[in-house]
């Protein structure tokens, strides 16, 4: 033996240098002079003296075994590996690991080699090994046994030949090949090794009768094994499996099984019920466009989506879907039920908001900036078009809302940045970086990061002064901003338009109201809390909230160095 440095590729793509005691190239240049026992002993010594972690060591040894197998043992590569498997149980603790190691090296060798000199001999030897394992003469785990059967493609006919040979030698320990294999598989079922049992049943084409086996697997949550077995057994058992899934409200499992096995005609209700559940989840998240796309023009699903929009009070979506897909007849057929089921949500009228001003020109930009500068407290919020492509970058922030008590100003950031970027930068700097104006936000630091990412060359989004994040004041509030509004003001917000297209122009009336509410409602929460905090009477159920300690005097959102940030904070303190 000698020491050798092995370069091993790790799962993260990096290389690892591993110094292991390697199998001597000289000793294995001719495997006809090395017995399986000696080979395994040397392998054990290499493993024992290796300095790497187990996974890296395994890969290094696997490479070494692969190289050794290329030295063409006289009996043949596959036969040599099987001879090793016969004696491996005497190595006890190393048996299973080394079995995996040499089998994986063999599979790799077989993929790299188009021909093999010992397939028939190896198959007979593998069948004999299997029957010895089944009979308890050789001790290998169920996983190793399954690998041997699959790699060497051992069939019942091969096992039957071995049993006949054993009987001819007066070895009467075995009945028929099928009975021996079945007994072994039933033992696996009893020990709840369901996937291995199913794999062997399928490989040997043994059709286990009765439905109790299927129910056992489902009860033990072995769904992959249950599906594999049902697919092997055919359509009747697949139908039972689908119905079991449906009865247990496992709609996704039922849907996948139906789709994979083309059972839509047998279970149309379950198929549609799952699709409806997906639409409902998307609608609850406000992902209406995605839900519409997932409906794929299916009229029944589109009608269900209309009903969801009606429940949510999303009237313009109801109109849009009915017009686009000619569903007006569906609404008429529903009669009284077609009345839009509007939940009681907060509106701008409830908050006595006088006006919502759209700002997208130079002149209006300057005018509203002067108005906002006269406010002591403003509410802030932003909206951008959602991006539903996994892993893709978020879209640019589309609008920014700044609210006073009675007015809400909605800045069209996309247009203003394109037409008058310098004026936009100057005006928003005067607002966001003013130490005189208290800015209220709900998780607004996240919005600031998105603003800086969208408009990185503007200074106005680099930092913000005097910010009160309302979310931090009420950490226990459930349901986001809408839940907080319901807790403080008694009525929640309609969030159905949260994920709508904020880049469309003009925005719809409902979009404008949604955007305006998200900003102005922060003012009303602040006023309500401030009034109760200053009042000694809290008998109406509103606890005293100390919000002043949550005001952040300076929020940095730039890429300045820590030292420069510290210097800036000291200057602000002074």
- Residue spans per domain, the chain: 2-208, 268-338, 349-573
Tokens representing 132?
Answer: 């010895």
Distance of alpha carbon 251 from alpha carbon 242, whole angstroms: 9
Q: Please tell me the predicted confidence (pLDDT) of residue 473.
A: 83
Kindly report the number of other CB atoms within 10 A of residue 5's CB atom.
Answer: 10
* Rg for the chain, CA atoms, rounded: 36
User: What is the predicted pLDDT for the residue at 541?
Assistant: 47
- Residues 241 and 227 sit within 8 Å (Cβ to Cβ): yes
Q: How far is CA 97 from CA 125, 152, 407, in A?
A: 21, 19, 72
pLDDT for res 560: 47
Neighbour-count burial for 255-291, b at 16+ CB within 10 Å, e otherwise:
bbbbeebebeeebeebbbebbbebbbebbeebbbbbb
Task: For residue 321, count other CB atoms closer than 10 A to its CB.
Answer: 22
pLDDT of the residue at 537: 45
Structure tokens given for 523: 């003012």
The two three-digit tokens of residue 170, written as one number: 């007066």
**What are the C-alpha distances in Å from 89 to residues 96, 136, 162, 375?**
8, 12, 21, 83
Question: Maximum CA pair distance of the chain?
Answer: 106
**Residue 391 falls in which region: left (phi positive, over 0), alpha (psi -120 to 50) or beta:** left
SS3 341: coil
What pLDDT is attached to residue 172?
A: 67
Identify the pLDDT of residue 496: 75
- Confidence at residue 69, expressed as pLDDT on a 0 to 100 scale: 82
**Sign of the torsion formed by the C-alpha atoms of 59, 60, 63 and 68:** negative
**φ and ψ at residue 330, rounded to 5 degrees:** -65, -45
- Looking at domain 349-573, which of 3.40.50.300, 3.40.50.920, 3.30.420.10, 3.40.605.10 is its CATH number? 3.30.420.10
- Distance of alpha carbon 82 from alpha carbon 76, whole angstroms: 10
Which residues are CB-neighbours of 351 under 8 A, at least 6 positions away?
517, 520, 521, 524
- How far is Cα of residue 506 from the mean position of the Cα atoms in its chain? 35
Q: How far apart are CA 276 and CA 507, in angstroms?
A: 29
Residues of the chain with pLDDT under 50: 1-12, 17, 19-23, 25-26, 335, 337-343, 536-542, 560-574
Handedness of CA 56, 61, 62, 64 (dihedral sign): positive
DSSP 504-573: SSSPPHHHHHHHHHHHHHHHHHHHHHHHHHH-S--TTSPPP---GGGEEEEEE-S---HHHHHHHHHHHH
Which structure tokens are listed for 480?
Answer: 């986001």
**Residue-level pLDDT at 540:** 45
pLDDT value, residue 117? 57
């Amino acid at each position: 033996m000698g020491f050798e440095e092995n370069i091993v590729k790790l799962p993260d793509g990096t290389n690892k240098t591993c110094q292991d005691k390697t199998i001597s190239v000289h000793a294995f240049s001719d495997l006809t002079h090395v017995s399986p026992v000696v080979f395994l002993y040397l392998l054990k010594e290499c493993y024992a003296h290796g300095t790497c972690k187990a996974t890296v060591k395994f890969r290094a040894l696997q490479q070494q075994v692969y190289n050794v197998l290329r030295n063409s043992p006289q009996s043949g590569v596959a036969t040599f590996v099987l001879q090793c498997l016969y004696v491996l149980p005497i190595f006890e603790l190393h048996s299973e690991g080394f079995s995996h190691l040499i089998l994986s090296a063999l599979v790799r060798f077989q993929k790299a080699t188009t021909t093999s000199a010992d397939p028939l001999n190896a198959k007979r030897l593998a069948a004999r090994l299997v029957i010895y394992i089944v009979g308890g003469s050789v001790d290998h785990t169920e996983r190793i046994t399954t690998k041997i059967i699959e790699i060497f493609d051992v069939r019942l006919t091969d096992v039957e030949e071995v049993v006949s040979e054993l009987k001819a030698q007066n070895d009467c320990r075995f009945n028929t090949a099928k009975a021996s294999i079945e007994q072994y598989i039933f033992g696996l079922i009893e020990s709840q090794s369901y996937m291995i049992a199913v794999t062997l049943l399928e490989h040997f084409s043994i059709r286990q009768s009765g439905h109790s086996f299927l129910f056992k697997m489902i009860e033990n949550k072995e769904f992959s094994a249950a599906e594999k077995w049902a697919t092997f057994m055919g359509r009747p058992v697949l139908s039972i499996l689908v119905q079991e899934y449906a009865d247990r409200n496992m709609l996704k499992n039922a849907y996948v099984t139906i789709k994979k096995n083309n059972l839509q005609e047998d279970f149309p209700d379950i198929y549609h019920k799952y699709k409806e559940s997906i639409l409902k989840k998307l609608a609850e998240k406000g992902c209406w466009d995605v839900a519409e796309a997932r409906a794929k023009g299916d009229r029944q699903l589109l009608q269900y989506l209309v009903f969801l929009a009606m429940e949510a009070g999303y009237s313009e979506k109801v109109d849009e879907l009915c017009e686009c897909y000619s569903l007006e007849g569906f609404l008429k057929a529903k009669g009284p039920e077609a009345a839009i089921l509007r939940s009681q949500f907060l509106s701008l009228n409830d908050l006595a908001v006088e006006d919502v001003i759209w700002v997208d020109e130079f002149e209006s930009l300057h005018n509203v900036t002067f108005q906002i500068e006269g406010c002591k407290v403003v509410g802030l919020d932003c909206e951008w078009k959602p991006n539903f492509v996994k892993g893709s970058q978020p879209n640019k922030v589309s609008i920014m809302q700044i609210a006073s008590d009675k007015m809400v100003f909605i800045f069209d950031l996309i247009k203003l940045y394109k037409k008058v970027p310098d004026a936009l930068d100057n005006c928003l700097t005067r607002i966001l970086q003013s130490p005189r104006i208290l800015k209220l936000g709900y998780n607004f630091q996240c919005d600031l990061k998105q603003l800086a990412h969208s408009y990185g060359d503007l200074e106005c989004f680099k930092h913000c002064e005097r910010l009160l994040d309302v979310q931090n004041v009420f950490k226990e509030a459930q349901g986001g901003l809408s839940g907080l509004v319901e807790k403080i003001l008694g009525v929640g917000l309609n969030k159905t338009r949260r994920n709508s297209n904020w880049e469309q122009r003009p925005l719809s009336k409902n979009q404008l109201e949604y955007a305006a509410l998200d900003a102005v409602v922060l003012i009303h929460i602040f006023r309500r809390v401030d009034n109760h905090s200053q009042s000694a009477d809290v008998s109406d159920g509103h606890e005293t909230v100390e919000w002043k300690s949550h005001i952040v005097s300076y929020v940095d959102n730039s890429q300045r160095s820590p030292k420069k940030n510290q210097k800036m904070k000291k200057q602000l303190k002074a």
